[in-house]
Structure 1
Amino acid sequence: MSFSAVTPCVSTAHLSESTTLSRVAVDVKHSTILPCTHTVHKGLTEVTWRAGSEELVASYLQGNLTVGPGFESRVHLSTEGIEGGNLSLFINPVEYNDADVYSCFCSNVQLCGVTLEVFAPTVDPVPVGDRVKLPCYAPINRQTEDSQLNVRWEKEGKVVLHLHSGSVTLGSGFENRVSVSKEDIRKGDLSLVFNTTLFSDHGSYRCFYNKEKTAGDPEEIKLTFTAREDNLTVSEGDSITLPLHSTEPVRVQFSSAGDQSTGVSVCVVEGGLPRCETQYKHRVSIQNGSLHLQQASPSDRGVYRVMDHRTNDIISIFSVDLIEGTQPYAPWATLAAVMVMMVVILILMMVLMRRKRKNKVLLGNRTQKDTDKCKTQEVQFSSPEKKELQKIYRPVISHETINAPSPPISPPVTQTTDCCWDPGHMSALCPEQSSTDIQRMAE
């Protein structure tokens, strides 16, 4: 707002008769500026914006900005602007509850007045299946407790969602798909959010608030859809999956590549049950709201249309391309290969363990036999002065020739691998060693 005269702050607490209200209109969730320009004293220390008569919006005092409840992080006053006489208030984003009459004060002197009008947005048609928000707004007190919030959404007279006493009740067919935000409601935003949409959601919606069921703004919202278009690429032998996006009866049509007509009927799906043409009857199943066409072949390449069975409105269009020459992934084959490998490993382990036990038994038997033999075996030396070396030896199993010093004795005899250990000489002797080896050991 502009003023015809330059006026410093004066001591008056009310809007002067010569000051007129300016008007600002904005769509909800957009940004806006509430204008106020005024020449002020250089020593000015306080600028305050209020909504209505008392509600604090923002206050600038000696370089510090204080923001009122509900306006946190959304309003701004420029220090440079104030020093230059621009006291305008910037709001981003604008909430529906921001609609009010705003006044700017300089040291308790009202300088400007602005009427802020906030408009609810409209809903444009969206592709079926998308997330969508149906707008509705109402003047809700920002301090309202959760238990006191009361919001009701209806579609053509039937309950879609009802928030009351802190709990939410959902209408049939809308479970796990719609919601409202308690935090947003306190800002005046009663909007209904669809996480995912079905073609059967199209129609007129209304929202109400408080116990008196006062209608929100706008009083009625229409939800409409455009046909959803998707491109699908599948491998030969895989399944083609077509989301139906509707709980109402639908018809699936097929047109081969290059055919511009609506094509031939594949199936009619009603109540989750398919009624298909003969060539598709044994290849079609319905799972999780989608039609699955199994064992795709080159003849399945083309355009599929999902249409409302009653109105013939097109819900979805799928252009399907096929990658030929590939084999479908068979998880059972991989599992079978893994199981065969595990069986082979198990058999090998059993064979090795059995062989190990057998060797252990044979070794134990032989050790006992050698022990008994060595206990009764006395090594003879031909040199009388070496008689004291005669002793009983403990068993040692050796597969190497032992060359121990020994005195000259009788001619050599055949050496065996059953040897005994001489702890006194830290050497090994064999009962049937050659005389040369024994003589060498005695020396």
Structure 2
Amino acid sequence: MKLLMMIVLLLLGSQHALGVEVYEGEESVLLPCQVPADVSSSSTSAVWDRDELKKSTVHLRLKSSDDLNDQNSHYHGRTSMRVDALQTGDLSLTLRKPTVSDSGTYTCTALKDGQAQRQPGVVHLKVTEPPPVWPIVLLAVLVPLIIPAAAFVLCVCCASKRMKDRQVPQSEVVEVGQQESVLLSFQTTANLPRDVTVQWTRSDSNTMVHVYESGKDQPGKQDPGYRGRTKMNEDPLRTRDLSLTLKDTLLTDRGVYTCTVKKDGHMLLQKSVALKVKESLPDIVEVTEGEESVLLPFKTTPDLPQDVTVEWTGPKHMKVHVYERGNNQPDKQDQGYRGRTEMKKDPLSTKDLSLTLKDPLVTDSGVYTCTIYSKDGDKLLQKSVTVRVTVPHTEVVGLTQEKESVDLPFKTTAVLPQDVTVEWTDPKHRKVHVYESGKDQPDKQDPGYRGRTEMKDKDPLRTGDLSLTLKYPNVIDSAVYTCTVYNKGGDKLLQKSVTLIVRTPWMAIVEVTQREESVQLRFQIPPDLLQDVTVEWKHLDSNKMVHVYASGKYQPDKQDQDYRGRTEMKEDPLRTGDVSLTLKDPHFTDSGVYTCTVYNKDGKKLLEDSAILRVRVTLMDTMAEMLPHPRPHKHRRAQSDLGHRNRNHEDVPLMGVQSA
């Protein structure tokens, strides 16, 4: 009967928590969930979960269809969502033929690539048995008798309200995180006899949480799951503080706790406290692809039974690692993680459930969740860790043009399937080299590289050495080369870039007269190489520091006193790649070999080249030095000197020197 169906939506302490109540036997019940349309349209899926179940998925909706492969069997054929749910933002779930066993907490989450877009919506469903029909008929008969009786009861209630020692306080709601302590407060003004019994129980399961009797705690009378985790204040009857402290909170501690004070079996006082245990916020760990491993931390404080199951899951609900019955269970984990995960020895005793993930790949990025289940499948603890795997910085290789070949290094410790594709490309996206189906594929590479490349190792997938040998390197080969490893489905597994610098084998020479205003020492490097490098110019003959550019600016305090105020580099040299140096007022003592060196942030030498500067002294300079009057100003130098300048005008691709 529709008149007997109750659907009540109540706010339960959170703007996202709703309560839905329905009778068993109804055709269906709607669990409401609404998100903004812009959130749902950018999501890739929406999932309904029931946290207290070991297999928690109730319904999973993708953009165009449902994905019920991982659905809990209890809900097979009984759930549905709107076909346009992710387009409209209406993620409500219809549950058909609700039963009492469907009662519980359901969460609705919009996901993008496996990660929650916002806080999940929470719905508390309560399914109760319908009342019998005969009380309705009886009610019509007894109404004339009920009204006088109700008036009498009202009088009694008013009188009992004045009896403070028998007043029942209002229930309250407290919220706490996992593995924390929480106080379930209950303070009274009543004068209590010394022979009363104080009992804290779980109303939803009728579990005995704590007993205080005969002036002391009674641990033998409480449920084993709470032993060692509860505490009341000393002498609570004297202080009138009957509050209970619950330590090391678990997800299964969620529920309504009721404190009852009894004497000779009669209730004197009672109060209820609703406890909510929140799931912890995810940690974030970052690792660079190519590193040996990454640690997903999870340390616990509660004493866990030895018969629990520890389950790490990853993106797309894949099982990453399972620890059960005191042993790892490799046959229960996803194939892509076998041989790559490890937990510490005896994790339940040490309370360290952290997971080590070896050979992290870019595709391993995502949210990883560790869940601890009791032997009955109840969820005890849960923690999430967000893993971000980044591509390493570009490695730089430099050589002179006379070399026969150069290796572009790329070694990995990852175990690669034999059906992957290894592809080296240049900045113009031309295929430099392709290794596929266990051999090189010269017909797939750009004609400009044919006959000039080969994999350094004959069996690169077995050894993990994906380095490429480039033969007959030329100055025009200077560029950034990228190696990408794809699986057979086309997904990117690994990637690394190498910057190749090919220099001319000779050293540039310049001659300039002492009366010149300035001279420029040229050095060109790849633009946008790295922003955290240091550029140093040195005079090798005197070992003096001529100029230093670091942390994005000129560092005058690091150069030799003789060169202060006399050197200059162009603006933003790392972006343009022009790290040439201008030396003002050159003197014959400035002659010698100048070297420019580029270091990375760890002090490793990336690039280096040199030039010879010769500063000639003219007859006019000699005479000027002998005269008593000051040396003529640079801007008034004789025109005859300009005709005698001897400068090197060679066009050197990477390094040269010219007068300004």
TM class by smaller structure: 0.3 to 0.5
**TM-score of the pair, normalised by structure 1:** 0.41
Higher-Rg structure is 1
* TM-score normalised per structure 2: 0.31
